[in-house]
Chains A and B, each alone.
Chain A
């Protein structure tokens, strides 16, 4: 899932310093699971922000609290139409995609990020999440025993482990970062695929990652359906308009 953590209250308060009516909008998806942007966190943030602004900016603000099921689909954004019309600004505590989805739908409302989005992670133990996928767009997990060096090696190297691997830990932080290449080695050994690591892995094609510019995913079959429906609608609308015109003429 996408993990994120709340920004410091100071930073959020600074963003909204010119506004008195705020909507805090949560998301029922990933950020709800990682306890940073769900319904409960919306409530806690609303109280904390009100207090912080009172104590530090010496003013009262009005906060509206809402949470939608997902902040990555247009249909859900429509559900906050009325609330958006009532407030001066919105603090979005969905992921970075959520903030930008709202910006697309509500061009006249200032939308501020309440979270720092951290990547694609799994929960290791309760309360601890660790990045597992960098979304590079060109998966190599079949070569590395299912463990990703792009997301998990501090230098993203493809021919590891480097000289900074000691007792299974990475030199960048030997206390908290496991050397994923050590793990890959052990994993490949246990599944009888050490040949994979003996071969030189060539340079990666980064054009499928963010290095290739903003990425789009288009499902041609779905997109076509949409186009067909759109076309049908347009035909109907034209037909109706013609009928209305004809009716008007006959009346005239």
Chain B
């Protein structure tokens, strides 16, 4: 990894300082209610190094990730602005990157985005002018070469710490590490993985990444989601594409009383975080406590990840 900072964001400096980074999610409201964001910010402020601001996740209309990110900055939480290519072409995407930078956003996660079929506007026309890898390449080019995709020079440079997601549990498995390599070659400085439940497969994936020298070029964060109940575990296992929850894990949660299942899920998360910290090449944990931001302080505290480093 080069010594030069890409954006100088808190998250980047935490990685650079050799600390085990912690991020979480902060979903924008399904409307213009700024109080929702302020409340969520108050829970996570100081407890994580940065928070992902989702971009109309699962294709459900919400406040824009740029606006929410800008509000989070005011509230003292560093955002990782997610941007999907589902809803914007190369013109809109580049324009939004300029705007985001001007508003003080310094971390960005480049995604293709969930298909509109899963959201609340399944009749929408999608864009997909580019995919996540091409978006990374476009933003990296703006940042490093000062040029938009057409080759024209930009007025005023941008610094952006660029991230991407990768799913070690998608198929074909043998290709997954190569896709990770493509994302890094396109410009990813950090990666957040899809939720990990199959630790063996994740370890194999990480070993491949280390062997290919990818962890020397990019910080990889393990994506983890606490299971709140046996029902949630079953649902995710059956219906969420690319997520497999090993049966012993489901059985373990099922094995405790209903009222205790959430606690069991948190215990599992703690074990997973501990396990991930010992996997070579894992540089941080991305805790996806979806719509459970109020729980983040407790999760980070119990995982012995507090206080967060001041960098």
Contacts and interface: CB of A to CB of B under 8 A. Distances in A.
B241 A166 contact: yes
Contact of A203 (B149, B165, B170, B181): B149
A168 B172 CA distance: 8
Contact of B170 (A155, A157, A161, A202): A161
Interface in B162-204: 165-167, 169-172, 175, 178-179, 181-182, 185-186, 194
* Interface secondary structure of A, over-half rule: loop
A116 to B, nearest CB: 15
Contact of A185 (B128, B169, B175, B185): B175
Interface string A158-191: 1111111111100110100001001001100000
A158 B117 CA distance: 20
Contact of B131 (A157, A164, A171, A182): A157
Place the interface of chain A in its size category: 20 to 34
Given A171-B115, A174-B241, A159 B131 contact: yes
A163 B194 contact: yes
A158 B131 contact: yes
A156 B131 CA distance: 8
B134 A163 contact: no
A136 B179 CA distance: 25
A200 interface: yes
A200 B171 contact: no
Nearest to A179: B171
Contact of A166 (B86, B117, B170): B170
B126 interface: yes
B78 interface: no
A154 interface: yes
How big is chain B's contact interface, by range? 20 to 34
A154 B175 CA distance: 19
A165 B129 contact: no
Of B86, B138, B175, B186, chain A has the most CB atoms within 10 Å of the CB of B175
B131 A165 contact: no
B130 interface: yes
Given A155-B126, A161-B172, A166 B242 contact: yes
B178 A167 contact: no
Interface in B143-160: 149
A171 B241 contact: yes
A202 B130 CA distance: 9
Contact of A163 (B128, B170, B178): B170
A126 B138 CA distance: 45
Interface of A: 154-168, 171-172, 174, 179, 182, 185-186, 197-198, 200-203, 206
28 contacts: A154-B115, A155-B115, A158-B131, A159-B133, A159-B134, A159-B182, A160-B131, A161-B175, A162-B112, A162-B131, A162-B167, A163-B167, A163-B169, A164-B241, A165-B171, A165-B172, A165-B242, A166-B241, A166-B242, A172-B117, A185-B175, A197-B178, A198-B178, A198-B181, A198-B182, A203-B130, A203-B134, A206-B129
Given A156-B128, A206-B129, 19 more contacts: A155-B112, A155-B115, A155-B128, A158-B130, A158-B134, A159-B133, A159-B182, A161-B170, A163-B167, A165-B172, A166-B170, A166-B171, A185-B175, A200-B134, A200-B137, A200-B185, A201-B134, A202-B137, A203-B129
